[in-house]
Structure 1
Amino acid sequence: MDDSAKIYLGIALMIVMMGMGLSLKLEDFKRVVKFPKAVVIGLVNQLIFLPLIAFGLIYLLGIRNTLAVGMILIAACPGGPTSNLISHLCKGDTALSVTLTAFSSVLTLFTIPVILEWSLIHYMGNDETSIILNRFEIFKDLFLITIVPISAGMLVKHFKPEWADRLQSKVKIASALVLFILIVGLTIKEKHNIIPYFSEVGIGTFSLNIITLSLGFITARMLSLSSKQAISISIESGIQNGTLAIALAIGLLKNNDFAIPGAVYSLIMFITSFIIIGFLNTKKFRQPTDN
């Protein structure tokens, strides 16, 4: 990828992340005091269980090195920019979903460098870690392309809420378009390998998505959270920021193979999301209460 393409990719990702910021307020972070157990359960599912499940699937399915790194990368990323909308459409606890998105976006700033460095050493060997320089470089890049635009979006939301409300729908469309363009571009670039790649990581990414969605709901219900909270935790666990994963793989790590699992996972998670939305909105499952 040439320098101009990297710049465009970075700008596109910053727009996506700013869109997330437009829906966030400081109150979303303070809400952890209101339901700390739900937030902790959600974050444990997303930040701990998700990478561990990815690691287990890689081992069980024998996914090869470069694609294994990509699997870990998508598992390490925070919730996707559409997770709040999907949670709302699934009749979940939207406030909890927003809070989990806010916290995971900040916390993964610290967890991604560690997990990514470990995965490169574990799957690629010590020689390959030179491509990521060091943890500080990853932290710096993540800060610039995630925290800065999210903060900018939050500032707009705080000082000009009417602007934020008008921009949100447009940015959400732009976010989906950016992800679509990335997937199409990656498919074209890897057109000779895309079918073998998909056959190799398709089962793994599908399993990762289904297991994390299910585990998020089950753990929440087992620990006495409401069905609405369980739905939101499930969605936040299974809907990942595929745009960030692909951008990091192509822009920072400079390896298209690392981006393949993120692209495949993104396609799968939207398919499963539409199925869940339809399922939970059938007459049988429409529930007026939070139970």
Structure 2
Amino acid sequence: MKLVNLVNYVFKEHLSWIVVFTAAAALLFPSAFAWLAVWVTLMLQFIMFTMGATMKTSDFSEVFKQPVRVLAVVATQYIFMPLSAYLLAKLFQLPAEVALGLILLGSVPGGTSSNVLTYLAKGDVALSITATSVSTLLSPLLTPVVLSVFGGAFIEIEFWSMFLSILQVVLVPILLGLVANRFFGTYTEKMESYLPTFSSIAVLLVLAGTVAVNRDNLITTGWVIFLVVFLHNISGYGSGYLVSHLLGFSKESTRAIAIEVGTQNTGLAASLGLAHFTPLAALAGATGTMVHTLFGSIYASFCAKNDKRQAQALEKKHSLEKTTSVQAANY
């Protein structure tokens, strides 16, 4: 148990560096990791199963408490993010399959790493968990729809094939996880501390596999892909802030929404790209894992440090006011 807690702590505190190290290893030694690409779908199914196994009724409480916030996340995620990807693909004149991969990245639900990033950023974790769950459960229908609308301009999309694929990769494993939680709750509770670690390792293996098979493409066009994916990621944070400002949400909710909209399920994007198209279509998903984690970690660190500075300034102000008040009373 101590080892598991240590590993969980390392992943939480040093996730960005672990992601960079994994990607670098896959780039330097692609032959050692390329075989993982065959197992990307299975690993993603395991991640979704762990998500379902740890879901609780309370995870959806935000839907009933403040449905507007959850609706704001899901609507922004499935409308703005694919549109942003489409416009960036046109602006940078990306090759058809690379452009499709970027739009695919914008069409998938929020990633589970958004929950960790929201926690580190001192945001509304309950909202983040609920939004991730809802957007993921809606993904079998919404992802093929928005991908057909925006990605159809580049490559013909087989709607029902992708719909069934997402059912198999996302919804079925989640439902099996929920069933396991329902009938074997005693055991899943004991495993709950282990599952995030196993899930994180699976995400890293997905990253390593997709980076390895895209090694040559990343080397030749890497800077363009990184730039476009970064701009797409930034646009998600910006749209989250804009929507939150217009609707008057709290600082904590705003941070959660910005992270949730900007942080996609990159593993799912990479898996669908490999399964339905070519390794080029998985390029944005592989790059997104690195970009989303790195920028998200930087953003979370900035938010936490900013809160600390504000708390210290407020404490100093109260201390000064107290001193002034005592001096005035003595006078």
Q: Which whole-Å CA distance do the structure 2 matches of 1:120 and 1:214 have between them?
A: 23
The answer on whether the counterparts of 2:86 and 2:150 sit within 8 Å (CA) in structure 1 is no
Match for residue 284 of structure 1 among 290, 304, 309: 309
Q: What per-residue deviation string (whole Å, max 9, x for no partner) do you get for residues 93-113 of structure 1? A: 111111111110122211111
Q: What secondary structure sits across from 1:62 in the alignment? A: coil
Indicate the residue corresponding to 1:35 in structure 2. Answer: 66
SS of the residue corresponding to residue 215 of structure 2 reads coil
Counterpart-to-counterpart distance in 2, 1:64 and 1:257: 9
Q: Aligned equivalents of 1:36 and 1:116: distance in 2? A: 25
| Cα distance in 2 for residues equivalent to 1:187 and 1:31 | 36
Letter in 2 for 1:268: V
Residue matched to 2:57: 26
Query: How much has 1:286 moved relative to structure 2?
Result: 5.8
Query: Is 1:221–1:227's contact at 8 Å kept on the other side of the alignment?
Result: no
CA pair 257-169 structure 1, distance change in 2 beyond 3 A: farther
Q: Single out whichever of 183-192 and 16-25 deviates more from structure 2.
A: 183-192
After TM superposition, the structure 1 stretch with the greater mean CA deviation from structure 2, 17-26 or 144-153, is 17-26
How far is the alpha carbon of 1:178 from its aligned partner?
A: 2.5
Tell me if structure 2 keeps the 8 A contact 1:16–1:81: no
Query: CA offsets per residue over residues 5-45 of structure 1, 9 Å max, x none?
Result: 77733321111001221332234335312102111211121
Distance 2:288 2:39 in 1: 23
- Residue matched to 2:208: 184
Larger Rg: 2
- Going from structure 1 to structure 2, the CA distance change for 1:50 and 1:173 (only over 3 Å counts) comes to same
User: Which whole-Å CA distance do the structure 2 matches of 1:217 and 1:162 have between them?
Assistant: 40
Equivalent residue, structure 2, for 1:78: 109
Alignment of 1:1-291 (within 5 A): 8-124=39-155, 129=156, 134-251=158-275, 253-282=276-305, 283-284=308-309
CA distance in 1, matches of 2:67, 2:166: 26
More displaced stretch, 82-91 vs 175-184: 175-184
Q: Normalised by the size of structure 1, how large is the TM-score?
A: 0.86
Aligned residues: 276
Instruction: Give the superposition deviation at 1:66.
Output: 0.9
Would the aligned equivalents of 2:78 and 2:146 in 1 still touch at CA under 8 Å?
Answer: no
Amino acid at match of 2:171: I
User: Contact 1:32–1:99 (CA<8 Å) still a contact in 2?
Assistant: yes
**Aligned AA for 2:46?**
I
> In 2, distance between residues paired with 1:183 and 1:11?
13
Alpha-carbon spacing, 1:227–1:120, altered in 2? closer, same or farther (3 Å): closer
CA shift at 1:160, angstroms? Answer: 4.3
Aligned-partner SS, 1:63: coil
Within 2, Cα distance between the matches of 1:6 and 1:270?
20
Q: What CA RMSD, in Å, does the superposition of the two structures yield over aligned residues?
A: 2.3
Q: How far apart, in 2, do the equivalents of 1:85 and 1:163 lie?
A: 24
How far residue 199 of structure 1 moved from its aligned partner, in angstroms, is 2.1
Shift of 1:145: 1.4
Residue identity opposite 1:284 in structure 2: R
Q: Is the 8 A contact 2:86 2:151 kept in 1?
A: no
AA matched with 2:62: R
Amino acid at match of 2:302: F
3-state SS, counterpart of residue 194 of structure 2: helix
Quick one: distance in 1 between partners of 2:163 and 2:296? 30
**Offset from partner CA, 1:86-138 (integer Å, 9 cap, x none):** 212211111111111111012221111123334453113xxxx3xx6x32222
Alpha-carbon distance in 2 for matches of 1:217, 1:117: 27
After superposition, what is the alpha-carbon deviation per residue over 1:209-240, rounded to whole angstroms, capped at 9, x for unaligned?
A: 11111220232122111111111111110111
Matches of 1:70 and 1:255 in 2, distance apart? 9
Deviations along 1:57-112, one digit per CA (max 9) or x if unpaired, are 11222222111000000111111122212212211111111111111012221111
User: What is the identity percentage for the equivalent residue pairs of Structure 1 and Structure 2?
Assistant: 28
Higher helix share: 2
The 1:169/1:53 distance shift into structure 2, 3 A limit, reads farther
Alpha carbons 1:10, 1:247 under 8 Å: kept: yes
Distance 1:122 1:243 in 2: 24
Q: CA deviation at 1:161?
A: 4.2
- Using the alignment, how far apart are the partners of 2:288 and 2:301 within structure 1? 20
